[in-house]
Structure 1
Amino acid sequence: MFQLLWILLIGFVLGMLAKLILRGPQAIPWWLTMLLGAGGAWLGNAVAGWIGVAHTSGIDWTRHLLQIGFAVLLVAVVAPAWGRSRATR
């Protein structure tokens, strides 16, 4: 249970960072921001493991940059699609 709360907290932080990095408004709800941030963290961890930088001594800067990068990518792709789907209703 605690791990799920931690994932959602980190997802929210990464999602908010992604929204801050992107220009312009992203009209997506907070829960979608949290899920996209968690997805970015998951993808960043997977790619970091794939390229062999998931576990290093000290702070895993490459892994964290990958997580933020994937969160930005997910928010950049989903936010316009979310806005279009809401506009057609």
Structure 2
Amino acid sequence: MLWTIIVTIVGGTIIGLLGKAVAPGDRTRFPLWLTMVCGIVGMLAGSLLYWVLFGHNNGRFDDHPATWDNTTNGIDWLRHLWQVGVAAAAVVVAATLTGRKKV
């Protein structure tokens, strides 16, 4: 359980920062904790969206069926791109809701 929390926090930070980097406009005027939240939302929602759209019909590999958080052998780069895209959308929403505007 502790390892899952650590991976979620570190991964959420990385995905959130990437989402903030690709979000349109100047979206860098809110705190790191909110970036982490956007990244965690991107990780979870992006993985689920990818699973629903593309991954649910993958066959078995490595002696287990594909699941929403593990759809292929190795690193699933397309799923990570979906995560960054969802995190970018979360950054736009967070910047809008917190009232952070370009100065």
Give the TM interval when normalised to the shorter protein.
Answer: 0.7 to 0.9
Q: Which residue of 2 aligns with 1:20?
A: 21
Moved more, 56-65 or 35-44: 56-65
The percentage of counterpart residues that share the same residue type is 33
Query: Whole-Å Cα distance in 2 between the matches of residues 44 and 25 of structure 1?
Result: 20
Please list every run of 5 or more consecutive structure 2 residues that lacks an aligned counterpart in the other structure: 56-67
Alignment pair present for 1:11 and 2:9? no
TM-score, normalised by the number of residues in structure 2: 0.72
Q: Which residue of 1 aligns with 2:63?
A: none
Query: Whole-Å Cα distance in 1 between the matches of residues 99 and 43 of structure 2?
Result: 23
CA RMSD of aligned residues (A): 1.6
Q: Which residue of 2 aligns with 1:72?
A: 88
Q: Deviations over 1:15-73 (max 9, x none)?
A: 11111112314321111100110011100111122123251234312211110000000
Aligned length: 84
Please list every run of 5 or more consecutive structure 1 residues that lacks an aligned counterpart in the other structure: 85-89
Question: After TM superposition, what 4+ stretches of structure 1 lie above 6 angstroms from structure 2?
Answer: none
Task: Specify the structure having the higher radius of gyration (Cα).
Answer: 2
